[in-house]
């Protein structure tokens, strides 16, 4: 399957980066386990009955395609992966072990709540449960849903016409971006979905999170080698990491870049961005 091959490519590149920069090992090792768990699930390909015309109509109306076709939760494959993600996370972040145990307990105590949690997460871009840590729950949901959302993305991405979608949310699943790139030839800014890894073009002089366009509120900070940029918005206090492909010879794997640039996340958060 294409998704499994992609996971293997990402894992191989992460091993290479770990060897080049041993200080990244504590960050990279958990991701190896998460990738392996997601890869072995083997989410089946999705076959959707949606025409090009219907897809175009949805995009013109600002409706992500997954919302148009509907998402069917795989209740055979999803719960085991959900539980395994909790175990991996608890092992690597023992300070949150009890909270991950609470999240995993949903599988046993309230299995019907899983569908509600997933539906809310997909619709509202946030995990919501009165008794569970929302950030940790979002982490588990994001990783457990990834192979399934990726399968939908592979089926729907050919229907996305770039000129019809320049929004800050993913045209497939409505997820927020967590990484970006500047195109090698044009310098146009593309975004990477945090949930399904779909890539799409966006407006460069606009915050993808709040839509702000005030120049005095938008800024970016380049890395010393100009390879990376940290975009920030003082309207909503959000940030976005990016790689400038005009400054690199190779074609990087963006899901790898989002992991190895953890230092940019720390710097942004230390300065009050989220």
| 190 φ, ψ (degrees, to nearest 5) | -110, 150
Displacement of CA 101 from its chain's centroid (Å) = 23
30 with 135, same domain: the answer is yes
Instruction: Give the pLDDT of residue 2.
Output: 56
21 with 118, same domain: the answer is yes
In a domain, 166, yes or no: no
Residue 218 banded pLDDT, cuts 50, 70, 90? very high
The answer, yes or no, to whether residue 84 has pLDDT greater than 60, is: yes
Instruction: Give the pLDDT of residue 152.
Output: 97
13 with 94, same domain: the answer is yes
154 with 192, same domain: the answer is no
250 with 192, same domain: the answer is yes
Displacement of CA 225 from its chain's centroid (Å) = 26
- Distance CA(68)–CA(65), nearest Å, equals 5
Instruction: Give the pLDDT of residue 212.
Output: 97
How many separate domains does the chain show? 2
Stretch 212-221: mean pLDDT: 97
Token pair, residue 48, equals 């959707």
Stretch 157-181: mean pLDDT: 97
In a domain, 123, yes or no: yes
120 with 149, same domain: the answer is yes
Q: Which pLDDT tens digit goes with each residue over 12-43?
A: 999 999 999 999 999 999 999 999 999 999 88
Q: Which pLDDT tens digit goes with each residue over 173-205?
A: 999 999 999 999 999 999 999 999 999 999 989
The answer, yes or no, to whether residue 1 has pLDDT greater than 80, is: no
The DSSP bridge partners found for residue 181 are 190, 243
227 with 264, same domain: the answer is yes
Instruction: Give the pLDDT of residue 141.
Output: 97
Instruction: Give the pLDDT of residue 5.
Output: 86
Share of the chain above pLDDT 90, in %: 88
82 with 183, same domain: the answer is no
Instruction: Give the pLDDT of residue 4.
Output: 81
84 with 35, same domain: the answer is yes
149 with 233, same domain: the answer is no
The answer, yes or no, to whether residue 110 has pLDDT greater than 90, is: no
Instruction: Give the pLDDT of residue 3.
Output: 74
Task: Give the β-pairing of 177-182 and 238-244.
Answer: parallel
Q: Which pLDDT tens digit goes with each residue over 48-59?
A: 989 999 999 999
- Distance CA(259)–CA(170), nearest Å, equals 20
Stretch 84-100: mean pLDDT: 98
* Residue 264 lies in domain: 176-270
For 81-101, the three-class secondary structure string (H helix, E strand, C coil) is HHHHHHHHHHHHCHHHHHHHH
109 with 213, same domain: the answer is no
Stretch 210-239: mean pLDDT: 97
């Amino acid at each position: 399957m294409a998704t499994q091959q992609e996971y293997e490519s990402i894992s191989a590149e992460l091993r290479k980066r770990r060897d080049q920069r041993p200080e990244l090992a504590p960050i990279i090792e958990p991701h190896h386990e998460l990738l392996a768990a997601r890869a072995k699930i083997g989410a089946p390909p999705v076959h959707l009955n949606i025409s090009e015309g219907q897809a175009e109509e949805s995009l013109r109306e600002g409706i992500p395609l997954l919302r148009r076709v509907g998402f069917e939760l795989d209740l055979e494959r999803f719960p085991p992966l959900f539980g395994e993600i909790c175990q991996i996370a608890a092992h690597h972040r023992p300070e949150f072990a009890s909270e991950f145990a609470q999240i995993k307990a949903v599988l046993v105590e309230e299995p019907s709540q899983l569908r509600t949690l997933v539906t809310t997460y997909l619709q509202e871009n946030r995990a919501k449960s009165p008794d569970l840590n929302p950030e940790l729950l979002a982490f588990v949901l994001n990783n457990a849903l990834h192979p399934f959302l990726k399968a939908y993305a592979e089926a729907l991405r050919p229907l996305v016409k770039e000129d019809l979608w320049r929004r800050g949310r993913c045209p497939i699943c409505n997820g927020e971006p967590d990484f970006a790139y500047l195109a090698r030839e044009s310098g146009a800014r593309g975004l990477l979905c945090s949930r399904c890894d779909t890539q799409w073009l966006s407006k460069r002089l606009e915050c993808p999170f709040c839509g702000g366009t005030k120049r005095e509120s938008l800024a970016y900070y380049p890395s010393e080698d100009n390879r990376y940029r940290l975009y920030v918005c003082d309207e909503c206090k959000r940030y976005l990491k990016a790689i400038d492909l005009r400054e690199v010879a190779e074609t990087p794997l963006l899901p790898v870049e989002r992991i190895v640039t953890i230092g940019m996340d720390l710097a942004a958060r230390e300065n009050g961005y989220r």
